[in-house]
Amino acid sequence: MLTLLTFHPDNLELFTTHHVDTVLKQIDSSHNIWLRCIHFRDRTGTAKIIKHFGLNPSRVNMIFNHSPVGIDEDVEDCLFDSYEILTPQIKNNEFEVARGNILLGNNFIITFEITELKALTILANNLQKRTRDIETLGISYVFYLIFKEILNNYHTVFEHISRKLDDLEDEVLDNSGDELTYQKIATMRQSTRSGRRNFQSIKSLMAIMNHEDLQWISQPVKELFNQELVHHVDKLWQEYQALRAWMSELMEIQRDNIAGKTGERINRLTILSSIFLPITFMSGFYGMNFKYMPELEQPWAYPAVVCVMALIVIGSIFYAKKQRWL
C-alpha cells in the first residue's frame, strides 16, 4: 500500500493507492511530502520511486537486500537509515521486529515499511495538528517526530517485557518451572537483541548530527534532537540493559533450578539402588551352585530369607526418609 501525505500550510492532504504511477502523479514537488510504502515489495515500482526523487539507483538494492542497520554515509543523495524496531507484538515468546528504511531529502521523506510500524500510523493520523510546524521547520521535523514515536514505542515494549518477566520470575523463584520456562526466557532475551542495534543506530545518528553538517536536517530540528531525544535515548538504553540483566539473572537461577532437580533425581536413583543392593547380594549368594548349603533343606529357609529381604528394604526406606534423602 502507498500512502502519500502532502503538507500544506493549513491542512494535510492524504492519498492512498496500490499503484506507483498513480501516486507519483499526485506528488507536488513544491510542498513537503511523506510517502509511506507499506508491505510494498515491488522492485520495479521501488525503482520508479527512487528515480522520481532523483536518488541513486543503488538505493533499490539497499532497500531489498536489507542493508546493515543504521545510517548510510557512502552515497550523499539523501539521509538513508535502515531500522529494526521491537514491537509489542509477541509470537512464540518472541517479540516481533519491524524492519524498513527511511529516506530523507530536502522536501520529502519516504519510508519503506516491510512490516507496518503502528507508531508511524499513529503519527500520520496526528500530523494534521502539526502542519504549521512542518511548514516552518521543514520535512526534517517529521523525521524527528518519527524517531520520537519510535522511542515512545519502546515504553510499551518494555512494559510488555516487564509483565512477561514478572510471570516467569514467579515460576523461577517458586521452583515450579522446567526446561520450557528456561527456553521461554532464553527466546525472549534473544528476540530483544534488535533493540540494542536500534538504540546504537539512533545514537550514531545523533553523533553524526553533532559532528557533521547534514543538509537534510535543519538546525532547529537538530536542536530538538539534542534537547529532547538524547536523554530519552539514554534513559531507554539504561532500562533496556536492566531488562537484559534481569533476563540473564532469571536464566541463571532457572539453570540452577534445573540442575538441582536433576541432582535430586540422581540422588533418588542412587538411594534406590543402594536399598536393593543387599537384596541383590543375597540373591547372588543363594544363586551359587554349591552342593552343601544346609539352609536349602530347611522348610523355613525360604520365608525367612524373604522376610529378611523385606526387613532390609523397609528399614533402608525408613532410614532414608528419616535422613530426608527421599
Per-residue pLDDT tens over the stretch 146-189: 988 888 888 888 888 888 888 888 888 877 667 788 888 888 88
3-state secondary structure string, 273-290? HHHHHHHHHHHHHHCCCC
Lowest mean pLDDT: which of 48-57, 73-82, 240-249? 73-82
Q: Mean pLDDT, to the nearest integer, of 276-294? A: 75
Distance CA(248)–CA(65), nearest Å, equals 33
Q: Residue 219 has what pLDDT?
A: 86
Distance CA(123)–CA(233), nearest Å, equals 19
- First and final CA of the chain: distance in angstroms? 65
What pLDDT digit, counting tens, does each position of 178-231 carry?
A: 778 888 888 888 878 778 888 888 888 888 877 767 778 888 888 888 888 888
Confidence of residue 70 (pLDDT cuts 50, 70, 90): low
Q: What percent of the chain has pLDDT over 90?
A: 2
Query: Under DSSP, is residue 296 helix (H, G, I), strand (E, B) or coil?
Result: helix
Nearest by Cα to 86 from 183, 184, 153, 168 = 153
pLDDT exceeds 80 at position 64: yes
Q: What percent of the chain has pLDDT over 70?
A: 94
Average pLDDT, rounded, for the chain: 82
Instruction: For residue 167, give every residue at least 6 positions away whose Cβ sits within 8 Å of its Cβ, in sequence order, or none.
Output: none
Q: Residue 96 has what pLDDT?
A: 81
Q: Cite the DSSP H helix spans in 139-192.
A: 140-173, 179-191
Q: Mean pLDDT, to the nearest integer, of 34-53? A: 89
Confidence of residue 313 (pLDDT cuts 50, 70, 90): confident
Distance CA(304)–CA(75), nearest Å, equals 95
Q: Residue 67 has what pLDDT?
A: 64
Q: Cite the DSSP H helix spans in 174-229.
A: 179-191, 193-211, 219-224
- Bridging pattern class, strands 32-38 and 70-72: unpaired
Q: Mean pLDDT, to the nearest integer, of 244-252? A: 87
pLDDT exceeds 70 at position 69: no
- Bridging pattern class, strands 32-38 and 108-113: parallel
